[in-house]
Structure formats: structure tokens, C-alpha cells
Structure 1
């Protein structure tokens, strides 16, 4: 028997306030959950961009609002505020909210988004797992982004981890074992797997020399991974357009500097040597390795959902394996 036993002081459920009516909605039982936390690793502002697209373009309502004052150390991670000539405004208060959302096809899902907690990780994890158990969440998928020594001229890569082999195999070839600084997403993934819940995480690779600025192509890749894993049609058109503009700017800057061009060329060589002979699986990429447009995405997701329905009724369907836009360079951050 363990001699050291903690006496419960605060129940995990006291960390959040609930919309009980929304929580009881039948369409949320068995739904999929996406998680995204800012404050740990957000190279290229991928997590921030993804959350912005979901909140700005999809219908959403708070299911649970976490008591952020119990979770954030304000002095170590000070919120931003604007000083304008003679007054203060636009205080950006931290938040952590579980939303109910519907995708472009009308499918409901859950989205847990906000500041990564500084404090009470064990209690927060217990609170999240309790909500997941109560809603009988089908799959939890989460995303982060990490700077990597890869060129912007090659497909966006990701390191994938979790306990769903069909969502992991063929996406990332990185099989190293190493100790890394943990994020709350990592902790939740471990605890979800221990509880027998389906979970998958994506670490999106952002070219190191672009990691300090917004890099929309990496956010698009993150949305594609999350959408494919959770069988959702997530918005990405605005980010695709922004990405094309950013790519043009990068090309101009590279062409204007021989030193920068040499760095990119060296990264391309290393990337090509590492990926030679490898192929990647993707639900959404086409045979010519081009990303599909919105109509093609919708058709792909609808077909995927239909195949899931067929499997649940005892039928079998084989998903087409195609070349992925995602490269194999790996890392967890």
C-alpha cells in the first residue's frame, strides 16, 4: 500500500462550468473531439491559425468553460493589452473552452481550444477525461507544430502518434526513441490511451526559417490531417489563398538572396536524400500529389463517411491509398 495518499481538495469537475442542456444533446454522444492548445509549440502559428478558421467559419457554442484563473500563471505568461495614446484597451484575456461545432457537412464535433495550462495538469487532465467519458467521445485528435530543418519547397510533413494504427501507419517514418519536454496534449494523449480511448496526435513540421511568422500552408496541412482523422469537412480555403500569397513572397525573397537560396537548396538536397524511395499515405491527396479543391474535399469526406457507415453495418470497403502531400521528416518538438 502506498504510504503517501493525497486527500482530494478540489474535485476535477470544479475546474469548469457546464452548459448542461447542450451537454445532454444526443448528437454529441459519440462525436469526435479536436484539441488545440497555444503556449507550448506553435511554429508558424499553425495552432492559432487552425483555431481561428474553425471559430470564425463554423457554428459553435460553449459546452464547458474552464476556470482559467486556476490554470494560468499570469506573471510568467503575461496577457497582451493595447496602449493607445492615453488609454488602455483590447485586453486579451486567456481562455480555455470546450465548444460544440458543426462542420461544412453539418456533422457535430467538439473542439477544446485555448491556453495550455501552467498549473494543475493532473487535475485538468482528470477533468477533460471525465468530460470525454461522459460524452463517450469516439476519437480525440490534437495538433501542434514544430520547427524542422526542411525546405518550404517540399510537401508539409508531420509526425503522427497515438493508438490508432490506421491513422498513423504510412504517414510518418520517424521511429526514434527520445525524451522530450511534455505538453498538456502529450499528457492527455497518454492518459487517454491508458483509459482505452481512441487518440491520435499530429506534430506539423514547419520550415525552421519560417517558424516565427504565420505560415498558412502548414495550417492547411494540419486541418487536412484533423479532418481526415475525424471524418470532418473543415474550412481551409482562406488559408490556402493566404498560403499562395506567402509562397510568392518567399520565392521573391529567396531569388533576391544567393545566400538564402543556397540554404534552401541544401535543405532540399537533404530532404530528397531522406525521402528517396518512400511513399506516404493520405486520404485526401490526389494521384498527382496536388491538394484537392473544396468540391473534391467534400466528395472525399462524403465517400469516407459512407465507407464508415458500411463498415458499421457489417460491410467492408477498402480505402484507396494515394501519394500524400505529407513528407516523412520527423520530430515531436
Structure 2
């Protein structure tokens, strides 16, 4: 393993680093990969607002980030530039709703030097004696918004996998830096859990508050920490109501959702983890179609087209883009409470 002097750390708070309690869980929330329902971005904002993060370590943006792929934001004010906002990647000491500490790795996913960054993270996991590492990702799936939000769990946490992982495919996919981190931790026998939320395909392009609720529920199950979900649940319920109103005004859309429900319920009943619930990046996974029903992808595509347009936030009035020929009411953008993860 490389030494920390050769790592990708640019700054550290030496005193806080020394004072970090050992044996804390680490939550990983990194942007940069596909983020169905805006789950990761919502989660990052939630922790910024509610967990009082104190920066322990800052990673070197110049070394890790591809600026041309993810250009920073700067403001042009009449005749000059100001308010330059470069991307950051930090490890912070944060607090849950009870004031209990945990480590939070947040910011951008590294574009470059994955191996060096992962080596540095393994060094820090050892230094801080991290009890478990949990990360969150979200994928669009042809699942109905009327069912509890479910997930695929990866890693070494057999307790979470057995209880919560509904979909367990075998497929080759494009890796992320966090996948590599989990892979290395798993190989070392460390405790790690990857939480991939399954977001309804036809709502995945919108900010989906039920995804935030689901992410927090699963993170609580993985880390033992307590995160307040009252406000996100209220927002999720508002969005769920608007989705139901929108779909309820069109018989064809109601039928589509019912067919998605039938496929989903059949899948759950059969518990065939390798069934053809969905395809990844257009490539079929495995399994057979359910007789007599359109494919889940076809249903999701039609629903997505029906709900196409710009979807405002939960407190906004419906915009003109919502007049899609069906005169919908207020605009939807999410699901109701996905149900607590026990």
C-alpha cells in the first residue's frame, strides 16, 4: 500500500483528525455517476443541512477531477468574474439526529487516480478503525411508484443482503470509484454495504423525495445511526399524491401502472432474483417475460412519455409544460413513504 505522503490528500485538520473517535461508521455520498431521482444529490444536501459536518480531510481536486467533464461554476457580474465554486471531495466528522458521530465522505467521485485514492481511503479506514462503510447509489427500474422502495445490497453485510436485497442479478457493468473501494474493502474482510435504490423508471428524471427517505432508512439500518425523516416523508407524500392524481386522469396510464404492479408482485412472489425485472443499459439480464403482459421496459417508457415535461418542486404551481393533452393537475415528482427499513 502507498504511504499517506504519496496520497491524494491536499489538506487536513490535524487536531480534529487526532480527535476523531475510533470505530465510527462511514457514510459515502459521491456525485458523478447516474443519479436516478436525484437521490445522491438530495442526500448530500440533507447531510450538509442536518449533520453539521466538520471537515477532517480535503482531497486534492486538481489531482482527482476532470474539470472539462465537470466544469466548476463561476459568476460573471457585469464586468468581472466572482464566486468561483470548485468541486470538493472531503471526509468530515458529522452527527446524527441524536448528536452521535459518524464519518461522512462526500463530494465528487474521482475521475483520475482511482487506485491511489482507494489506497488512501484504505489507509484512513484503518487509521480511524471504521466499523462499517455504507454508500448509496440509485438506478432507474421499471417498478411501480405504488410499492415500497426497494434496493439491491452488495458487500459483506450478509444481514442486510438477506433482509433487504430484492434484486440480485449477475451482470458486467461500468465501474465507479466507489465500486472499487467496496471491492477492496470486501477483499480485506472489512464491513461494507453498497445500497443501490431501485427508482421507478418513469420518475427517475425528477427529484424524487421518496428516494431520499429510502436512502436514509437503509443507511440507518446499515450504520445504526438515527437520521430525521419527518420532513422528507411529508414531501414524499405530497409528491405521491400528485403522481396519483396525474396518472388517475388517464385510463391508459392507470392500466400501465397496474401492469407494472402485476409484474412486480409476480417477481416478489416468485423470489426469482435473476428474473428479467429490468435490463441494464439496454442489455437484457436474464429470465422470461410474464405471459400476457407488455414488457416492463415498454410500460415504463410509455409512462415516462406520458409524464414527460418539466416537473417543478413540491410547492410549485403546475407549469404549462404539464399540459400534455390530458390536462393534469399539480405536477408530480416523487413517491410516498417507501416504508421503514426494519
The superposition leaves residues 141-179 of structure 1 with CA deviations (integer Å, 9 ceiling, x where unpaired) of 111111010011110010001112112212124332211
Aligned to 2:130: 137
Aligned residues: 274
Aligned to 2:234: 241
Q: 2:12 aligns with which of 15, 18, 24?
A: 18
CA distance in 1, matches of 2:69, 2:244: 38
Distance 1:249 1:230, change over 3 A: same
Is 1:209 the counterpart of 2:196? The answer is no
Q: How many angstroms does 1:55 deviate by?
A: 1.2
Distance 1:84 1:254, change over 3 A: farther
Q: How many angstroms does 1:91 deviate by?
A: 4.4
Q: How many angstroms does 1:10 deviate by?
A: 9.5
CA distance in 2, matches of 1:215, 1:90: 29
Q: How many angstroms does 1:325 deviate by?
A: 3.7
Distance 1:10 1:277, change over 3 A: closer
CA contact (8 A) 1:171 1:326 kept: no
Q: How many angstroms does 1:262 deviate by?
A: 2.8
Query: TM-score w.r.t. structure 1 length?
Result: 0.76
Query: TM-score w.r.t. structure 2 length?
Result: 0.74
Distance 1:129 1:178, change over 3 A: same
CA contact (8 A) 1:16 1:65 kept: yes
Aligned to 1:261: 254
Q: CA RMSD in A?
A: 2.3
**Aligned 1:1-333 pairs, distance under 5 A:** 11-25=5-19, 28-81=21-74, 91-276=84-269, 325=339
Distance 1:86 1:172, change over 3 A: same
CA contact (8 A) 2:151 2:198 kept: yes
CA contact (8 A) 1:54 1:235 kept: no
Q: How many angstroms does 1:79 deviate by?
A: 3.0
Q: How many angstroms does 1:257 deviate by?
A: 2.8
SS in 2 for 1:186: helix
CA contact (8 A) 2:134 2:192 kept: yes
Distance 1:91 1:273, change over 3 A: farther
The superposition leaves residues 87-134 of structure 1 with CA deviations (integer Å, 9 ceiling, x where unpaired) of 766544211011101111221100000111111111111111111111
SS in 2 for 1:169: helix
CA distance in 1, matches of 2:147, 2:231: 21
- Which 10-residue stretch deviates more, 170-179 or 105-114? 170-179
CA distance in 1, matches of 2:63, 2:55: 19
The superposition leaves residues 277-301 of structure 1 with CA deviations (integer Å, 9 ceiling, x where unpaired) of 66xxxxxxxxxxxxxxxxxxxxxxx
CA distance in 1, matches of 2:74, 2:250: 37
Q: Structure 1: which 5+ residue stretches go unaligned?
A: 1-7, 279-323, 328-333
